[in-house]
Structure formats: structure tokens, C-alpha cells
Amino acid sequence: MNLDSLFILKLALSFLIDETNGYEEGARLDLGSVLGDMDTKIWVDLKPADPAVWYDWKSCLEELLKSDIKVNADTESLNIALTKEQAFMAAFNFLDSLWESNHDVTLGDVIQVVERCIQDVESGIQNPVWNQWIQYVESEVGREYSFD
């Protein structure tokens, strides 16, 4: 299965919303908590630290595929295809970079940034977050993972 980079960003957004909804109403969930669950570097098998996170990711992917989201492929940078594992790693590295620049960021803050980025891309507006996102997507091309 190959995934387009804009679709993957929508998948990452859906995943973050799903993770946020898994916590109590009003809880201030920071990005660091989610990154800890997603981290693949702490285990020898390179699978996410919390196995449930991988199933959450796949569940969000299945929901988006069912909703038949059409991806706008106006530019070459939107046509980068990744596997679901490569997409997961691109999302992890992208979110990790946001965490590194601001350790107080909450999931709500990140969701707003990603939503704005998606809106801008779909409207043809330049967004610096999109350029950063594309770098992480491109960095995963050709890497091999197997989380199943």
C-alpha cells in the first residue's frame, strides 16, 4: 500500500485527534507523552514502545481509506508514496521536531498547526510547516520497516 504525502499528513492529524480523544475531557495532553508511546528507538525490534499506538495508527488509516478522501496532487512534492510504516516514521520524526522546538506544546496546539497546514496546501497557499513535513516524508523513502 502506497500513501501520498498529503494523505499521510491527514492521517497524522486523524491519529493525533484520536489520541487526544482517548484522554479525559480537558486533560492537557502534551506531545511528549504521545511521542514516548510512538518511539521505535528504544526496542531492538524497532516497533513502537506502546503496541496499541501502531493499532491506533492502522485504525485511523482504515477509517480515512473508507471515507475515500481525494488527495489533490497539483505538485510533484505531493506525489511521494510511502508504506504505512514509513508514514508512521515520517509522522513520528515530524512531531519529534515540533517537540524539540517547544517542550510545552500540547496535542491541541499541534492539531491546530497541522489543520492550518492542510488548509493552506489545499488552497494553494505556501506554508512553511508543509516544507518541513515534505522533508520528513522524503527522508523515509526507501527505508524498510515491519511493525506487524
Residue 31 lies in a domain: yes
Range(s) of the domain holding residue 89 = 3-140
- What's residue 3's pLDDT? 62
Contact 113, 103 (CB under 8 A): no
The answer to the question of residue 95 being in a domain is: yes
Inside any domain, residue 117: yes
pLDDT score, position 114: 93
Write the CB contacts of 12 (distance below 8 Å, at least 6 apart in sequence). 87, 91, 94, 95, 114
pLDDT, block means (10 residues), the chain with 148 residues? 76 86 61 84 75 86 73 42 84 89 83 93 92 90 80
Give residue 75's pLDDT: 37
Does residue 23 lie in a domain region?
yes
